[in-house]
Structure 1
Amino acid sequence: MYNFQFGAGSMKRILAAAGVTAALMGSAKAETFTYGAYMAPSHPFHDRALEPLIEDFEADPAIEFNIRLISGGQLLGARESLEGVKNRLADLTFVVPVYNRTELPEINFFFQHIAFGPNVVAGTGAMLEAMYLNCPECIENYTAHNTVPLATGSGGQYHIYCKDPVESVEDMQGRKVRAVGAHARFVQLMGATPLNLPANEGVTAIQRGTLDCIIGPLAWMTSFGYVDTAPHILTVPMGYPKGLGLMVMNQDRWSNLSDESRAAVLSHMGELSARATIDAYLKPDEELLSQAEELNLHPNAGDGSFEPLFATFSETEKSELLRAASESGVQNPKALMAKMDELYEKWVVIAEETAADIELVGAAYQREIFDKLDPSSFGIK
């Protein structure tokens, strides 16, 4: 039995994770919007980020709807999330940009820029400000598909974990590794073979012998079941993805809300971005490693051969990222990268003041980004 305490664990949040309508548990609202998530109910994003938001929405009289969460891919899988919300199979969803590279070229640029911003709080802040306030094309990526990105965040630092022991780059040669985007290129540098699989399909692939390792956040170990199938963890950090669509809404639904309701929704987005990035992705890494012996996990820091390889990869990745971005239709990738670099310096200063405090980080994201969006025009048809 895994002994993880993902959030308060109240019955209200447990019911929400199981897909019970929030309206039955809170104040009456005019409508209930469905949030279709591909992640398992046990994923910390639900308990630590989305379900607190559901409670906040219930308590906010200006917000005209409740949220019903249907998780575990019952309604939308990872690859179908954007298209599903576009066509109102769900009203809200979580979007992983790499599965929508054609539809979301600018957003996928953020996702692929894994080596940018070693300070995750600052890197996420720079990405958010670049996206929402300096990149109209980024918002148009979504609105062109009848969707609106209300909150965006970053995943945790990626690590390698395998079914068999791994301590060196040499150990990785010939192995098959679940990796997408820029991480797939890094896997190739190690002499391994990247496989493009959704994270929730990796356990079955390992059990069938078609996959050896995962490169991803450690939060996946409990949410997708890798604790038992890939217990050998390399603790070397290997970058993190940005631009995750935490709360993407159908544009018709968004446009039909009142200005007051849209303003109220936006007022909660800074905290959601902070909760998701810090509580749902960064903190579970520390918690899982602290229970390594109990869970029969085998973490190790490697033999020192991974760090110089990742440093070399980081130096060359910018030019590769710019080339790939131009080919995929990003309108001005050099300017977007330069803006992120410029904003990162600002956000490093802010992050020194906030550290990883959810309340302080959320307030900073809200003040510097989401409060500057006009609810009467942002994302409106």
Structure 2
Amino acid sequence: MTLNKKTIALAAASAALTAAPALADTLIYGSALPSIHQANTVVVEPYAEAVAQATDGEVDIQLTAGGALAGNRETLGAVSDGALDMGLITDFYTPTELPNSTMISDLGVLGKDARVITAAVNENLLIACKTCKADYEELGIVPMMMYSTTPYHVMCKGVDANALANLKGVKIRATGAMGQLMAGIGANPVNLQTTEAYEAMQRGSISCIAGSIPWLKTYQLGDMVTSVNMMALGTFHGTLPLNINADRWAELSDEQRAAMIEAIPARVRAIAKSYEDDDISVREDFEAKGVSFVEADQAFIDAVEAHAASDVERVGEAAGDRGAVDPEASIAVFQGLVEKWTGIVNDIGEGAWDEAQWDAYEQKIREEIYEKAEF
């Protein structure tokens, strides 16, 4: 079936009809990620419930997952032209349309902690980086929330992932900044959507994937992965799970819009907590099933660190070539936000947090970002 506005609209209408009866404002949400992914279960679904409750059922967000309405590469356009009201947008699939936003998500080497980077990317997008926000606004989209994964690791099937020598020339699913890193250490990066990685590994088209540990569960990669290199490579922080078509946003009442904004900080907290918790629990689960979690050898560590030292400059140059505005200044601003939120997170407490510490984090997200941002 050819993907266009008409076919998306027909599919969305069918999804809405088979769900709960339409309420005053039904917002059709499309996600290309599988239904069990944290972006759906931890962000979109509870967000929809919170908004419906806060608006007495006046705003009804209907999620259709698994790419039934639009794929990863099509979702930006679908929300932009109104075929979808909301959708899960991943910026690196459309770098030409989102040059400033993609520049920030390309800075994977700066990411060491999901709590820090999740906060930093939201403050950057919604307040600090006017050109990043303008990327979306010029397409008729109101951006509302981004998040970061926990750090990526090399995870392999049938390859001992600990040693640099074992990874030379090996096909590794890695995109954006991770693709550059894999090429830099001598591996062979393969540009695939994350949802395509399972089948590619099953067929032998790739032997490894650069991704976060929770992917062993959410993408079922743990069925095949035998070895995980525990050196943190950096985060991916280019996913925008909450956004809305600007025309649909304008149609909502002030009270409805306020309710939608009010519900966001809890989702920022929840997705960061989910990734942090899953890093621990998923590792324990798959370690018990025989997956080896191994320390990197010194050659691998040296190669990754050498690449990281030059990667920020590469990102700025590549972003400028794509049309990003004053990339060096924008990168410096983001680096400052990473430093700011590293301090905030450390002040709340190092290591795993209890609920009171997560409450403090959510309050900081609210005060520093959502009470100051304009939508």
Measured in 1, the distance between the counterparts of 2:19 and 2:200 equals: 38
Q: What is the TM-score when the length of structure 1 is the normalising length?
A: 0.87
**Equivalent residue in structure 2 for 1:252, among 216, 241, 247:** 247
**Equivalent residue in structure 2 for 1:224, among 196, 219, 228:** 219
User: In the alignment, is residue 177 of structure 1 matched against residue 136 of structure 2?
Assistant: no
Measured in 2, the distance between the counterparts of 1:161 and 1:274 equals: 27
Measured in 1, the distance between the counterparts of 2:229 and 2:136 equals: 36
Deviation at 1:325, TM superposition (A): 1.1
Deviation at 1:298, TM superposition (A): 2.0
Distance 1:233 1:334, change over 3 A: same
Q: Is the 8 A contact 1:23 1:32 kept in 2?
A: no
* 1:360 matched residue in structure 2: 360
* 1:13 matched residue in structure 2: none
Deviation at 1:170, TM superposition (A): 0.5
Instruction: Point out where structure 1 has 5 or more consecutive residues left out of the alignment.
Output: 1-18
The aligned runs of 1:1-381 (5 Å cut-off) are 24=20, 29-61=23-55, 64-164=58-158, 165-279=160-274, 281-355=275-349, 356=353, 357-374=357-374, 378=375
User: Quick check: 288-297 or 137-146, which moved more?
Assistant: 288-297
Measured in 2, the distance between the counterparts of 1:142 and 1:305 equals: 41
Deviation at 1:36, TM superposition (A): 0.7
Q: Is the 8 A contact 1:114 1:182 kept in 2?
A: yes
Measured in 2, the distance between the counterparts of 1:300 and 1:306 equals: 12
Offset from partner CA, 1:75-94 (integer Å, 9 cap, x none): 11111111111223321111
AA in 2 matched with 1:212: S
1:290 alignment partner, SS class: helix
AA in 2 matched with 1:236: M
2:155 alignment partner, SS class: strand
AA in 1 matched with 2:112: P
Measured in 2, the distance between the counterparts of 1:148 and 1:264 equals: 15
* 1:10 matched residue in structure 2: none
Deviation at 1:102, TM superposition (A): 0.5
2:228 alignment partner, SS class: strand
Q: Is the 8 A contact 2:39 2:241 kept in 1?
A: no
Measured in 2, the distance between the counterparts of 1:166 and 1:350 equals: 34
Distance 1:243 1:210, change over 3 A: closer
Q: Is the 8 A contact 1:95 1:246 kept in 2?
A: yes
Instruction: Point out where structure 2 has 5 or more consecutive residues left out of the alignment.
Output: 1-14
* 1:9 matched residue in structure 2: none
AA in 2 matched with 1:173: K
Q: Is the 8 A contact 1:177 1:212 kept in 2?
A: yes
Deviation at 1:136, TM superposition (A): 1.8
Measured in 2, the distance between the counterparts of 1:133 and 1:65 equals: 26
Distance 1:102 1:63, change over 3 A: farther
RMSD, aligned α-carbons: 2.1
AA in 1 matched with 2:59: F
1:24 alignment partner, SS class: coil
Measured in 1, the distance between the counterparts of 2:85 and 2:245 equals: 5
As a proportion of its length, which structure holds more helix?
2
AA in 1 matched with 2:272: T
Q: Is the 8 A contact 1:63 1:265 kept in 2?
A: no
Distance 1:107 1:175, change over 3 A: same
Q: Is the 8 A contact 1:35 1:69 kept in 2?
A: yes
Measured in 1, the distance between the counterparts of 2:348 and 2:29 equals: 30
Measured in 1, the distance between the counterparts of 2:299 and 2:86 equals: 43
Q: Is the 8 A contact 1:167 1:302 kept in 2?
A: yes
Deviation at 1:353, TM superposition (A): 3.4
Measured in 2, the distance between the counterparts of 1:136 and 1:360 equals: 27
Q: Is the 8 A contact 2:111 2:151 kept in 1?
A: no
Q: Is the 8 A contact 1:176 1:211 kept in 2?
A: yes
Deviation at 1:158, TM superposition (A): 0.5
Deviation at 1:181, TM superposition (A): 0.9
Measured in 1, the distance between the counterparts of 2:200 and 2:113 equals: 33
AA in 2 matched with 1:253: R
User: Quick check: 117-126 or 195-204, which moved more?
Assistant: 117-126
Measured in 2, the distance between the counterparts of 1:234 and 1:154 equals: 20
Measured in 1, the distance between the counterparts of 2:17 and 2:218 equals: 22
Deviation at 1:288, TM superposition (A): 0.9
